[in-house]
Structure 1
Amino acid sequence: MDSVASLHAVERAVLLLLVMVAAFAVMANRLKVPYPIVLVLAGLGLSFVPHMPRIPLDPNLVFVIFLPPLLYAAAWTVSWRDFRRHLLIISLLAIGLVGFTVWGVAEFSDHFISALDWKAGFLLGAILSTTDAIAATSVAKALGLPRRIVDILEGESLLNDATGLLALEVGLRLLEQGNLPTVGEGALRLTYLIVGGLVIGLLIGVLVSFLERLIDNGPVELVLSLIVPYAAYLAGEEARASGVLAVVAVGLYLSRQSPRIFSPAVRIQVMGAWQAMTFVLNGIVFLLIGLQMPYVLAGIEGGFSKSTLVEYGAIFSAMLIALRLIWVTPAIRFSNWIQSLRHPEEERVTPRESFVIGWTGMRGVIALAAALSVPEVVNGAEFRQRNLLVFLTFSVILVTLVLQGLTLPSVIRALGLAGEEGIEPEERYAREQAFKNAIAYLEEGRLTAADGLEHAYDDLIDRYEHRLAEVTEEEGHGASKAEVYHTLSREARAAVQVERRTIIHLRDEGLISDDVLRKLERGLDLEETKLSS
Structure 2
Amino acid sequence: MTSGAGLHALETVILLLLIMVAVFAVIAHRLKVPYPIVLVLAGLVISFVPHMPRVPLDPSLVFLIFLPPLLYSAAWGTSWREFRHHLVLISLLAVGLVGFTVWGVAEFSEHFITALDWKAGFLLGAVVATTDAIAATSIARSIGLPRRIVDILEGESLLNDATGLLALELGVSIIMRGETPSVGGGIVRLLWLIVGGVGIGLLIGLIVGWLEKFIDDGPVEIVVSLVVPYAAYLAGEHIRASGVLAVVTCGLYLSRKSATFFSPGVRIQVMGVWDSLTFILNGLVFILIGLQLPYVLAGIRGAYGMVTLLEYGGIFSAILIALRMIWVFPAVKIAYLLRRWTGHAEKQPGARDVFVIGWTGMRGVVALAAAISVPEMLGDGRVFGPRNLIVFLAFCVILVTLVVQGLTLPSLIRVLGLAGTTEMSVEEREARKTALAEAIAYLEDGRKQCGSAYFHAFDDLLDRYQHRLVHIESEHDDGHDEHGPHTYRQVIDAAEGAVQAERRAIIRLRDEGRISDDVLRTMERELDLEESRYQVARL
TM-score (norm 2): 0.87
Tell me the distance in 2 between the aligned counterparts of 1:358 and 1:391: 23
> Are 1:158 and 2:158 counterparts?
yes
CA contact (8 A) 1:144 1:419 kept: yes
Match of residue 127 from structure 1: 127
Match of residue 429 from structure 1: 430
* Residue identity in the other structure for 1:245: L
Match of residue 348 from structure 2: 348
Unaligned 5+ segments in structure 1 are 480-521, 529-533
Tell me the distance in 1 between the aligned counterparts of 2:127 and 2:139: 22
Match of residue 28 from structure 1: 28
SS at match of 2:450: coil
CA contact (8 A) 1:24 1:38 kept: yes
Unaligned 5+ segments in structure 2 are 489-527, 535-539
1:459 Cα deviation after fit: 2.2
Tell me the distance in 2 between the aligned counterparts of 1:2 and 1:196: 44
Match of residue 41 from structure 1: 41
CA contact (8 A) 2:40 2:290 kept: yes
Tell me the distance in 2 between the aligned counterparts of 1:120 and 1:458: 74
> Are 1:460 and 2:461 counterparts?
yes
> Are 1:81 and 2:96 counterparts?
no
* Residue identity in the other structure for 2:395: F
1:347 Cα deviation after fit: 3.2
CA contact (8 A) 2:72 2:251 kept: yes
SS at match of 2:267: helix
Match of residue 412 from structure 2: 411
CA contact (8 A) 1:301 1:387 kept: no
Match of residue 61 from structure 1: 61
1:46 Cα deviation after fit: 0.6
* Residue identity in the other structure for 1:55: V
Tell me the distance in 2 between the aligned counterparts of 1:368 and 1:22: 23
1:525 Cα deviation after fit: 13
Instruction: Pick which of 333-342 and 258-267 moved more.
Output: 333-342
Match of residue 515 from structure 2: none
> Are 1:11 and 2:11 counterparts?
yes
5 Å matches for 1:250-269? 250-269=250-269
Tell me the distance in 2 between the aligned counterparts of 1:525 and 1:121: 57
Match of residue 360 from structure 1: 360
Match of residue 316 from structure 2: 316
Tell me the distance in 2 between the aligned counterparts of 1:422 and 1:457: 31
5 Å matches for 1:182-331? 182-300=182-300, 303-331=303-331
CA contact (8 A) 1:200 1:236 kept: yes
1:342 Cα deviation after fit: 3.1
1:424 Cα deviation after fit: 0.9
CA contact (8 A) 2:339 2:345 kept: no
SS at match of 1:116: coil
Q: Percent identity?
A: 66
Tell me the distance in 2 between the aligned counterparts of 1:424 and 1:61: 40
* Residue identity in the other structure for 1:286: F
CA deviation string 1:70-107 (max 9, x = no partner)? 00000000000000000000000000000000000000
Instruction: Pick which of 187-196 and 468-477 moved more.
Output: 468-477
CA contact (8 A) 1:39 1:287 kept: yes
* Residue identity in the other structure for 1:383: F
* Residue identity in the other structure for 1:428: R
Match of residue 495 from structure 2: none
SS at match of 1:396: helix
TM-score (norm 1): 0.88
Tell me the distance in 1 between the aligned counterparts of 2:141 and 2:368: 24
1:184 Cα deviation after fit: 1.4
Q: 1:422 to 1:455 in 2, by over 3 A?
A: closer
Tell me the distance in 2 between the aligned counterparts of 1:296 and 1:425: 49
Instruction: Pick which of 338-347 and 34-43 moved more.
Output: 338-347
Match of residue 516 from structure 2: none
Match of residue 168 from structure 1: 168
SS at match of 2:145: coil
Instruction: Pick which of 421-430 and 163-172 moved more.
Output: 421-430
Tell me the distance in 2 between the aligned counterparts of 1:456 and 1:125: 67
Tell me the distance in 2 between the aligned counterparts of 1:8 and 1:70: 27
Match of residue 390 from structure 1: 391
> Are 1:93 and 2:93 counterparts?
yes
* Residue identity in the other structure for 1:108: F
* Residue identity in the other structure for 1:155: G
Tell me the distance in 1 between the aligned counterparts of 2:321 and 2:424: 30
Question: How many positions carry a matched residue from both structures?
Answer: 486
1:166 Cα deviation after fit: 0.7
Instruction: Pick which of 149-158 and 298-307 moved more.
Output: 298-307
SS at match of 2:198: helix
Tell me the distance in 1 between the aligned counterparts of 2:221 and 2:473: 38
CA contact (8 A) 2:109 2:117 kept: yes
Tell me the distance in 1 between the aligned counterparts of 2:112 and 2:343: 45
SS at match of 1:213: helix
Q: 1:254 to 1:422 in 2, by over 3 A?
A: farther
Match of residue 471 from structure 2: 470
Tell me the distance in 2 between the aligned counterparts of 1:143 and 1:292: 26
CA deviation string 1:323-343 (max 9, x = no partner)? 000000000011111223334
Tell me the distance in 2 between the aligned counterparts of 1:348 and 1:138: 27
1:444 Cα deviation after fit: 1.7
* Residue identity in the other structure for 2:427: E
Tell me the distance in 1 between the aligned counterparts of 2:289 and 2:482: 54
Tell me the distance in 2 between the aligned counterparts of 1:422 and 1:145: 14
CA contact (8 A) 2:74 2:137 kept: no
Match of residue 2 from structure 1: 2
Match of residue 105 from structure 1: 105
Tell me the distance in 2 between the aligned counterparts of 1:315 and 1:429: 49
* Residue identity in the other structure for 1:381: R
1:136 Cα deviation after fit: 2.0
Tell me the distance in 2 between the aligned counterparts of 1:157 and 1:59: 19
CA contact (8 A) 2:325 2:355 kept: yes
SS at match of 1:131: coil
1:454 Cα deviation after fit: 2.6
1:524 Cα deviation after fit: 11
CA contact (8 A) 1:147 1:422 kept: no
Q: 1:422 to 1:453 in 2, by over 3 A?
A: closer
* Residue identity in the other structure for 1:119: K
1:25 Cα deviation after fit: 0.3
CA contact (8 A) 1:264 1:525 kept: no
1:5 Cα deviation after fit: 0.5
CA contact (8 A) 1:126 1:164 kept: yes
* Residue identity in the other structure for 2:367: A
* Residue identity in the other structure for 1:368: L
Match of residue 522 from structure 2: none
* Residue identity in the other structure for 1:384: G
* Residue identity in the other structure for 2:237: E
Tell me the distance in 1 between the aligned counterparts of 2:388 and 2:226: 35
Tell me the distance in 2 between the aligned counterparts of 1:344 and 1:249: 25
CA deviation string 1:362-394 (max 9, x = no partner)? 100000000011111111111111111000100
Match of residue 443 from structure 1: 444
CA contact (8 A) 1:149 1:357 kept: yes
